[in-house]
A and B are shown apart, each in its own frame.
Chain A
Amino acid sequence: MKNIRVITVISMLLAIAIVLNVVEMQLSFIPIPGAKIGFANLVTLIVLYIYGFKWAFSVNVLRVIIVAGFFSPKGFDYTFYMAIAGAVSSVCLMGLLKQLTKIHVVTVSVLGAVMHTIGQVVVLMVSLETLPLIFYLPVMLVISIPSGVLIGIIAKRFFQVFKEIPHPETF
């Protein structure tokens, strides 16, 4: 029964991640093309710290697939491959850092955001076979590092507020 409870909570968190992602797709308040805050990563980070890597990986990959399938105007095109590459690489790095090191959640979030950007740009470079696209990497990183800090701070606040509520021990 405990497992059903976990699956239910994870499903709701996945729904939240999808909504955050879709809402963010409509906003473009950052003047740099293609840059986003990455609010969906907040859910990934929270799931990673409460339920562990396995669930965080599932939430992140499922979110990208569902958003591409249902909400993206063009479906599974190059943006999907960029998104899935960024999502997988960032959640893997964050999982490793959380498991192997003692660094703070904000730093984990920042490094996850950096890895997300690198994964995206590498996939773009390989798929378009154009090396000069690497010039876009620093521009994206200058945006993604502050947004990683922001997401990390929100996640830390979340953990403080919900510290009293018992979390199921999995993973």
Chain B
Amino acid sequence: MKKKDYIIIGSLFVVALIAFVWITFFNQSSGSIANVYVDDFVVASIDFSDDSYKLFNQDDQYPEVVVDTITKLEFKILGKYQVGEDFDVVVIEVDFVNNQIRIKSDGTPKQIGVNRGWYNGQGLPVISLPNQVIILFETETDDVDGVV
């Protein structure tokens, strides 16, 4: 290996590392509304500025609210991951005290979205790929018309 090779690899790694550290520790999302997307559609929108929430119907049963208190909200939505004929049920938990949200449980094999833990707008967004569930902090609820 020549000096050029070390420079290319080293500089790439440093750039990636800086971006990684910046995103993990300093990237605070500006919005106060957590939107829960399933397959590009908003199914739930939680506004932490006034602790309110809106659910958009997926079908007759879901989203289904399980727990609804002043400090805590828990509801079930349908993901895109299929076990046999049935779609996977994803349990989302919202903590109004610390303004954070997480996927409490789902049926995906690797549990990546669940292990991501609480999300308050800082760091990586919550994503569960098999279910196509994404949780993002945004300034407003967009694409309401797109909800079917």
Complex contact A110–B12 (CB within 8 A): yes
Q: How many A-B residue pairs have CB under 8 A?
A: 76
B92-133 interface code vs A (CB 8 A; 1 in, 0 out): 000000000000000001101001100000001101011010
Q: Which residue of A lies closest to B129 (CB)?
A: A78
Chain B residue with the shortest CB-CB distance to A74: B130
A142 close to B110 (CB less than 8 A): no
Q: Name the CB-closest residue of A to B29.
A: A132
B40 touches A145 (CB 8 A): no
In the assembled complex, the CB of A72 is this many whole angstroms from the nearest CB of chain B, namely 12
Q: A33-B110, A128-B132 are in contact. Are A135 and B125 (CB under 8 A)?
A: yes
For A, the interface residue count at a CB cutoff of 8 angstroms equals 30
* Bound-state Cα–Cα, A64 to B88, Å: 27
Instruction: Check B134 against A103 for contact (C-beta < 8 Å).
Output: no
Q: How far is the CA of A141 from the CA of B20 in the complex (A)?
A: 9
Total chain B interface residues with beta-carbon distance under 8 A? 31
Cβ–Cβ < 8 Å partners of B24 in chain A: 139
Separation in Å of the B29 CB from the closest CB of chain A?
8
Give complex CA distance A104, B19 in Å. Answer: 26
Are A142 and B20 in contact (CB-based, < 8 A)? yes
Q: Which residues of B contact A3 (CB under 8 A)?
A: none
- Contact B1–A130 (Cβ < 8 Å): no
Q: What's the minimum C-beta distance from A136 to chain B, rounded to whole angstroms?
A: 6
B8: nearest chain-A partner, CB-CB: A107
Residue numbers of B with Cβ under 8 A of A are 1-2, 4-5, 8-9, 12-13, 16-17, 19-20, 22-24, 27, 37, 40, 109-110, 112, 115-116, 124-125, 127, 129-130, 132, 134, 136
